[in-house]
Structure 1
């Protein structure tokens, strides 16, 4: 899995849960700017920060790593 995919997954999961960047940043005790850098992939994400983000999003770190938004939109044929 590419590192970029992790950052994209964090943003998509946050959006699907209707959480704002402000809310997640506040729960992580970070600035919104700092959290935005995580979602954009401008900073390296540590394992401990991934675990903290997963807790705020209400999912497991593994879910973030394996998340694929297309699983919600597959058509049944």
Structure 2
């Protein structure tokens, strides 16, 4: 099961166009430590699973039991869902990261490197 969850984490991160460095920073982990999670080399705690679901903007069950159809819908017109931060265009759902979270990540990066 750990390998499946690890693969789900990586797939979702890539589909949301987030870097490993960003997600590791959000989890207060090193890049290397986070990489071990994605490769299934270490067991992941429930608290980290919960935090990853928050970072990705999905439920814990969606993270554990990932289904690629979650990211697609049948609408052909553009729609913005302010609650989830998703934009639907031509049947493909993309997700927007709030600017405040990106800024928080940049501040953490500067503190860690400075």
Normalising to structure 1: TM-score of the pair? Answer: 0.84
Structure with higher strand content: 2
The whole-number CA distance in structure 2 between the counterparts of 1:68 and 1:37 is: 23
The whole-number CA distance in structure 2 between the counterparts of 1:27 and 1:47 is: 16
Q: Which runs of 4+ in 1 moved over 2 A?
A: none
Compute the RMSD of aligned alpha carbons. Answer: 1.4
Normalising to structure 2: TM-score of the pair? Answer: 0.58
**Residues matched between the structures, number:** 71
State the structure with more CA Rg. Answer: 2
The whole-number CA distance in structure 1 between the counterparts of 2:65 and 2:17 is: 20
Structure 1, unmatched stretches of 5+, are none
